[in-house]
Structure 1
């Protein structure tokens, strides 16, 4: 039950009745009419902009519409006050029975908060997609958490979601990986080696080199690349992907599909995608203008095969084949998204690192062209993470040799803390990850604060269970109790807003606000015994009081489930 959607339906019904009575003209579009929480809770429980958005098309003053609408709404049993504010905003205060009904719905409906807005449509969420040349680093961690939470959020909102990892194993970097592993293989045979610039010297390849030795013995020692490169490349890529899968599982991330870039080469798939674009008149031979910042004398114009991406919103056309006949990096990416479209997805989402900002327009143009504008692509950029401890830059052990890994972070604070903390900022805002604050037991730590609220709810319910008391109809009399119920009523609306905007961080923000309202009520109970959930010697009052923490626990558990965090049963 989305209380705000239901109230909007009631507002629209009242507006229709006003039109039927001649108070408003007929045929007014009401798409822009909203019902949402007021900016200041002191003004009421809900607010509608109906009078403001209908005034101009109706040819009336906003306040006149608001006054007439207020009179109709105030006559309803579930509304105790309808007050016009300012030029025509209408604030509504709901009857106590509405909040009791909200709690009853949460306790009886296991799908409270879930939405059908996705209508079972298929969406592919591609995230992480790191080069298989080493362990995932802390930047990948944030992208993994964001993508996984977004996938869960969309599933919760009624989408059919596929979680996908695109393995970038088709470029020159996997050859560099193979050569780096070969050096570790020689080390495993007792040879001294030096790692040239551009190779991967991280300790994580030591074990890979040893496994290569176990598999092939000395067959590759003192031989040229033509003997071992293909075999070592394949072996090394598989080993890196095994490590990446293990790291993702440590974070609680499970992919539905791993898609290899290499599988696009030599199979005709790249050619098929470009043929599709060519058939639409979007492939041509031409030269590009010099890149910005390049002097003309530094630029050698070369004829290339170009995709007319400007026809689909890009700033410049993009090369898909180099002058030497080889594919550009963009060509297999086009083919990969062509494959996604061919698989029948209704929407695509790519989660990229901050350094891929220049790739957004060209990729959107390609998907628009390939799908004839029928399949939307949303690209989410995930900004950098800076590591701190007690406010100071934190240098951790670097198993990778050059960067802090996902496993380093998870081993330090655990997957739950890692995941929640990574969602305490919007994806396109930089994130400071302070290890000390992430495990601090205080209100300033949102992970602890939300988990503590859930643990408090569970402690109340365990005590009631021990006394054989089950929850009954909710007793809500104090403003602090109403405030918690009001926040619970926002959950279904919040889910849809977050899912529509592809913004899982909103779930974390909401949970913190709900926890704050619950802790405030708990603290008031320390001074006022009548507000305590378990009422000594009054089983009936206790049955009514515990309905609220039971509802809070249900919603917090659902929200944490979307974030991939296990709710705490107790805090020590």
Structure 2
């Protein structure tokens, strides 16, 4: 249960009971009412702006209106105290009994506590990674992969029906370059001495592809036409590179539901693309015309000639977009038209694209395209900034085109998948991220992933201690949370209060599509848990396991289990594990 939404509804009911009307005799608009944690916990448990957003339309002073509402809210048995503060904020303190009931709700829900029906099963397509199949995943792909996967997990937890999709760019110029590079490796496998000219892919990761072609075809490719040999080389290369990419993603705990081949759009002489473009033409979005030269650097797809154009400026773009090249072939954007149309036809009306920051120029055109296809499409494009690698403060260099790049697998193998995933989320996606190999493996509070996982392990340790002291029945699910009314210490109530923020956090992070909020929350929860645990090292009366009091121990064990459950659920959203012990 989202207690903030619950109290927002209680406040709405109070306002409605007061039968307030504006000058026209209309009931006030409550859509801007908010209930949230106050910035300063000393001000209470909840704060609402209700009086401040309604006062003007009702012709009342905010503080007077706030006091009227507060007087009614004070009658709620879950409210222990209430005050009007500042220009008209209403601050509420909730009773210990309310927090005890919240704890029982958390324990009944287990790791499903915080799971939401916000998405109402809405068909949502999250496309992320979509790296060209020209080599193994490098660390530059890592952040978008983690952000996209964590977002998909978050949305699923919030009730959306999520499909994780990878767009395989297996058509176009870069695949021709890949095929030519593999032909050289094939000749090398047959015993020739080769040199790789500038512009082709020099990485040793293509050596196995050349070897595989030699084993399958012998010298037959040498006797074929160049086009036929290149087609076979491209197919083999894309297949083996995608196998390699899937393995890299699996090492990062990422698995997509759909791998969509761009080549399928170009089949039958571009039939799917042609049909999608014709669909836009029938809606009045396609015309023949010329484009003025854009300001600044000319984009690659601009040509000074009459051409087939998408009238994207009518739907929010800053320039119309070419659909057909001068040689008659469809542009890359034309394939995007067909691809988005295909997603819409598959039943997705919420589309999310997670792209690198260098794709910022794609945002407006993709949003415009969605509007042109259907006004019902809800599209969001998330941009992930670069990751800079450091080792003890010194930059780690990489350069993909030279073949001397840092692979995603290199990073995962060195520091572990949990550290990679959590730390890639420990900054907002559109902010640069520094990743230091040394810092993400140190065992300290300054290492967020260690600090959070240590809290999970500590919770399991406390449960084991209680079982050793009182037997397994103390941790039995039946009865856990009984005696919760004995939890009256300020640290215990503060911990329940922090746990109670989880459902709201899930919904707000899903709405904003910001999975980094989950990582931040988990760190704050871990900090609250460690802080209260440390109080017990100084005051034996506050320890979770009271060897002379099984009833109190069981009550406190319920609090520990709630912490464990939320940490486990939250870490699952980030894609990291919740260890039972630290090694």
Question: Fold-level match, TM-score > 0.5?
Answer: yes
The corresponding residue for 1:440 is 442
What is the aligned counterpart of 1:335 among 334, 338, 354?
Answer: 338
Answer yes or no: is 1:508 the counterpart of 2:519: yes
The corresponding residue for 2:305 is 302
Answer yes or no: is 1:413 the counterpart of 2:391: no
What runs of 5+ residues in structure 1 fail to find an aligned partner? none
| Deviation per residue, 1:344-389 (Å, 9 max, x gap) | 1121001111111001101111111011x11111011111000012
Answer yes or no: is 1:242 the counterpart of 2:243: yes
What is the aligned counterpart of 1:360 among 343, 363, 370?
Answer: 363
The corresponding residue for 2:102 is 102
Give the whole-Å Cα distance in 2 for the aligned partners of 1:257 and 1:105: 37
* Map 1:164-203 → 2, pairs under 5 A: 164-203=165-204
Q: CA deviation at 1:476?
A: 2.0
The corresponding residue for 1:160 is 161
The corresponding residue for 2:558 is 547
What is the aligned counterpart of 2:493 among 475, 482, 501?
Answer: 482
Answer yes or no: is 1:286 the counterpart of 2:286: no
Q: CA deviation at 1:24?
A: 13
Q: CA deviation at 1:217?
A: 1.6
Change (3 A) 1:162 1:22: closer
| Deviation per residue, 1:311-349 (Å, 9 max, x gap) | 110001111112221211101011100100111112100
Q: CA deviation at 1:411?
A: 0.8
Q: CA deviation at 1:21?
A: 11
2:201/2:401 contact within 8 Å kept: no
The corresponding residue for 1:351 is 354
Change (3 A) 1:206 1:357: same
Q: CA deviation at 1:397?
A: 11
Secondary structure at 2:90 match in 1: strand
Answer yes or no: is 1:89 the counterpart of 2:89: yes
Answer yes or no: is 1:207 the counterpart of 2:208: yes
The corresponding residue for 2:541 is 530
| Deviation per residue, 1:26-81 (Å, 9 max, x gap) | 51111111110001111000000000000011110000011111111122211111
Q: CA deviation at 1:487?
A: 0.7
1:204/1:400 contact within 8 Å kept: no
1:204/1:399 contact within 8 Å kept: no
Q: CA deviation at 1:429?
A: 0.8
The corresponding residue for 2:504 is 493
1:35/1:49 contact within 8 Å kept: yes
Secondary structure at 1:265 match in 2: helix
Q: CA deviation at 1:465?
A: 2.4
2:103/2:481 contact within 8 Å kept: no
Give the whole-Å Cα distance in 2 for the aligned partners of 1:367 and 1:333: 10
Give the whole-Å Cα distance in 2 for the aligned partners of 1:87 and 1:472: 40
Change (3 A) 1:400 1:540: farther
Change (3 A) 1:410 1:142: same
Give the whole-Å Cα distance in 2 for the aligned partners of 1:46 and 1:261: 51
2:23/2:57 contact within 8 Å kept: no
2:427/2:516 contact within 8 Å kept: yes
Secondary structure at 2:435 match in 1: strand
1:533/1:545 contact within 8 Å kept: yes
Secondary structure at 1:266 match in 2: helix
1:451/1:567 contact within 8 Å kept: yes
Q: CA deviation at 1:103?
A: 1.1
Change (3 A) 1:154 1:61: same
Secondary structure at 1:348 match in 2: strand
Secondary structure at 1:334 match in 2: helix
The corresponding residue for 1:520 is 531
Give the whole-Å Cα distance in 1 for the aligned partners of 2:560 and 2:446: 22
Give the whole-Å Cα distance in 2 for the aligned partners of 1:437 and 1:258: 35
Q: CA deviation at 1:394?
A: 2.5
The corresponding residue for 2:405 is 403
Secondary structure at 1:339 match in 2: helix
Change (3 A) 1:536 1:31: same
Give the whole-Å Cα distance in 1 for the aligned partners of 2:561 and 2:402: 45
Give the whole-Å Cα distance in 1 for the aligned partners of 2:414 and 2:165: 27
Post-superposition, which runs of at least 4 consecutive aligned residues in structure 1 deviate over 6 A?
20-25, 396-400
What runs of 5+ residues in structure 2 fail to find an aligned partner? none
Give the whole-Å Cα distance in 2 for the aligned partners of 1:522 and 1:461: 13
What is the aligned counterpart of 2:320 among 317, 322, 326?
Answer: 317
The corresponding residue for 2:34 is 34
| Deviation per residue, 1:469-508 (Å, 9 max, x gap) | 2334323222221111111000000000000011111100
Give the whole-Å Cα distance in 2 for the aligned partners of 1:74 and 1:495: 29
Give the whole-Å Cα distance in 2 for the aligned partners of 1:307 and 1:61: 53
2:20/2:58 contact within 8 Å kept: no
| Deviation per residue, 1:404-440 (Å, 9 max, x gap) | 1111111111111111010001111111111111111
Give the whole-Å Cα distance in 2 for the aligned partners of 1:492 and 1:227: 57
Change (3 A) 1:269 1:396: closer
Give the whole-Å Cα distance in 1 for the aligned partners of 2:265 and 2:106: 49
Give the whole-Å Cα distance in 1 for the aligned partners of 2:390 and 2:239: 33
Q: CA deviation at 1:294?
A: 5.8
Report the number of matched residues. 568
Give the whole-Å Cα distance in 1 for the aligned partners of 2:567 and 2:452: 8
Greater Cα shift, 18-27 or 100-109: 18-27
The corresponding residue for 2:221 is 220
